[in-house]
Amino acid sequence: MAKPVPVPAEIIDFIKTGSKFLVAGHKEPDGDCVGSQLALASALRRLGKETIPCSAGPFKRTEIMPYAALFIAAPGEKEREGARVIVTDCSGLHRTGDLEPCLKGLPLALIDHHATGDHLSEEGTLIFLDPHAPSVTFMILALIEALGLTPTHEEADFLFFGLCTDTGFFRHVDSRGAETFAYAGRLIQAGANPKKTFQAINGGKSLNSRRLMSLVLSRAEEHFEGRLILSSEEYEETQRFGLEGRDSDMIYQLLQSVAGVEAVVVIRQEDPGKCAIGFRSRDRVDVSAVAASFGGGGHKNAAGLAVPGTIAEWKPKILAAFERVFC
Ligand SMILES: [Mn+2]
C-alpha cells in the first residue's frame, strides 16, 4: 500500500482549538461512515469537546440500524451555534443529503478516502484525503493517535467495524495490505473482536433478503463472454421486500465468484422513474470511471449511480459503456 497520508497539522489544530463539533457523514451511511463518526465523536468528547453526530440517514443496512438513534438528522440554530463541522467518508457537504443546508457556512474539515476528485470546496475548508486508505476509520485511528489518545474499547469496535465493512472483511486487501493489518492489530489490541464484528456485519438478515437475492440472481445475464454480469431488481420487488430485504454486498460477492467475471452491475428500479445502479469489479476494471461517465462516483472496484429512468432504458447505455472497457 502507498504510505498512509500523515494527518495534516491543520486538522489537529482545527480540533484542538475548537470546543464544539458537528460530526457528519454521507447520506445513506454505511459501516465505515457510521464507525468513523462515532469513534471520532467519542474521542472528541474525551478531549472535553461538545460533540454532536449528525446524519441524514436513512439507515438501511441491517448492521448499522442499531446506531441510528445516536445521530440527529437536522441540527438547528442551537446545535450550530459556535460549532465546527467535520464530514467523514465523502467529498463534501453536497453528499450529506438533507444535512447540507444545516451545515453550510460553518468552519469545515473533510476526512475522506474517495478518489472522486470533487473535493472542491469553499475557501478555508480543510481536507484530510488519503485515496489509498482502506477505510476512513483507518484514517480516524491515525487521527486519534495523533491527538495523543489510544482508542477506547468502544472506539476500537467502531473503527474495526468500518475497516471490515470497506475491505469486505479483508477480502479486498491486496499485497499492499501490511499497513492495514498493522492497524487492525492495534484495534484488536484495544479491544476489537473480529468474530463479533463478522457476525454483526453478516448476520441478522431476514429470510426475505435471501428470497430477493434468488430473484436478482435468477435474472443475471452474461455479456462480453462472461466478463460482465448484469442483473436487475424490479420496482415491484423493491416494494414487496422493502429496503431491509436488500443485501447488495452478498449479491455482488456471489456474482463476482463466477469464473471469468471482471465486473458486475445491478440496476435497481428504486421508484417508477428512478434507478440506482451499483458497480463492482475485480482488479483491473475501473468501474468508478464508468459510473462517473454518467455522473456517479465511488472507488475503482466499487461505484454507484442514481439516475432518472428505467431498467430498460439504462441497460443498453450501461452495456455501451462497458463496450469501451472490454473491446
Ligand atoms: Mn468508506
Q: Cell numbers 480543510 correspond to what residue?
A: 126
Sorting pLDDT into bands at 50, 70 and 90, what band is 196? Answer: very high
Strand partners, 23: 53, 86
Residue 79 has pLDDT above 90, yes or no: yes
Share of the chain above pLDDT 90, in %: 81
pLDDT of residue 115: 73
Cα(90) to centroid(ligand 1), Å: 8
Sorting pLDDT into bands at 50, 70 and 90, what band is 121? Answer: low
Distance CA 225, CA 42 (A): 50
pLDDT mean over 138-142 = 97
pLDDT digits (tens, 9 = 90+) for 282-306: 889 999 999 999 999 888 899 999 9
Residues, Cβ < 5 Å to ion ligand 1: 32, 89, 136, 166
pLDDT mean over 252-270 = 96
The answer for residues whose C-beta is within 8 angstroms of residue 186's C-beta and 6 or more apart is: 141, 151
Sorting pLDDT into bands at 50, 70 and 90, what band is 124? Answer: confident
pLDDT mean over 127-152 = 96
pLDDT of residue 224: 97
Cα(225) to centroid(ligand 1), Å: 32
Cα(135) to centroid(ligand 1), Å: 5
pLDDT of residue 248: 81
pLDDT of residue 120: 62
Buried b (16+ CB within 10 A) or exposed e, 104-126: eebebbbbbbbbbeeeebeeebb
Cα(167) to centroid(ligand 1), Å: 9
pLDDT digits (tens, 9 = 90+) for 201-256: 988 888 888 999 999 999 999 999 999 999 999 999 988 887 666 778 889 999 99
Q: Dig out the grid coordinates for 154 from the structure.
A: 468502544
pLDDT of residue 282: 86
Cα(239) to centroid(ligand 1), Å: 28
pLDDT of residue 1: 52
- Look at 315 and 283; give whichever has higher pLDDT: 315
Residue 128 to residues 234, 295, 312, Cα–Cα distance (Å): 39, 24, 40
